[in-house]
Structure 1
């Protein structure tokens, strides 16, 4: 379980394909505090640490993960958002995030406003995921509030702190990002689909 509050950034130092799996090595300031078998969210994708070597650690993404997320698009030196699993009893500063990405989306607009940025994303609405105005959404692991919710697009407003301390600063028009929709909204959507 995660909160969507990014703890730090990591940098991809190695990518190794093995059959259908991708082993991803990440350099991070939190590596010394990690343990093998621990879960860490990478751009919102929960992955298990399989190896630690000084200031780098390795996780493995299977085909299902590579097919449904942007993890398979990673390149050497890319920046990833990192969050360790929350501790029981900690404050929930973001919202309930499972680390299970529902689908990807494309960045279609970036507007710099006076003191913040407005990012707009387009996603495949046929997968029955929904956003609601002022609801929660996780974008590349970042817990955010939805603005301008439409059938297949939504926007989020990014403050300078979030912009500087996440990989939002690397987004361009056409960037593919991970989405985890609000867990309560997913259950409501599924129940409605079953009634139809």
Structure 2
């Protein structure tokens, strides 16, 4: 974790970014406001000029991440009517979000248990809405006879987990770009559902 220079202005955004990276690296419970302040080069009390609490920081990180993912999914599906093309676009958008925002995704995947109400219900609702959009595509493809899979729900979970799989090995300086990996995984998603095209 690199420390921000004292010339860097401290704002709610810089506090959130520092918290995001620390939560991803050492966990929510393993990170104190003092840790976040140290990275930013300020005193811990100074942070409360920018954020109400560590819990609010955690919720804000997750809320931003979920809204971004939902917006990216909606954008990827805009104007796409063919069900196979929809699944390809949705799977690619999912994997790409994981690869381009690994710290936020890590926090969302590992720290939902650390959220208190009503924050927890809000984030679970957004996560479920995302999953329902993917599952709806798979179910439509099965209903139309384009996909052949015994359990659309399980297949949808597998597709949603593709992002975690790619994030585990992907390196930005590696052989493939994030977009290339996302497109390859989207091809695999069509195989998972037994696309007949």
Tell me the TM-score normalised to structure 2 length.
0.23
Higher strand share: 1
Q: Rg larger in 1 or in 2?
A: 2
With structure 1 as the length reference, what TM-score do the two structures score?
0.24
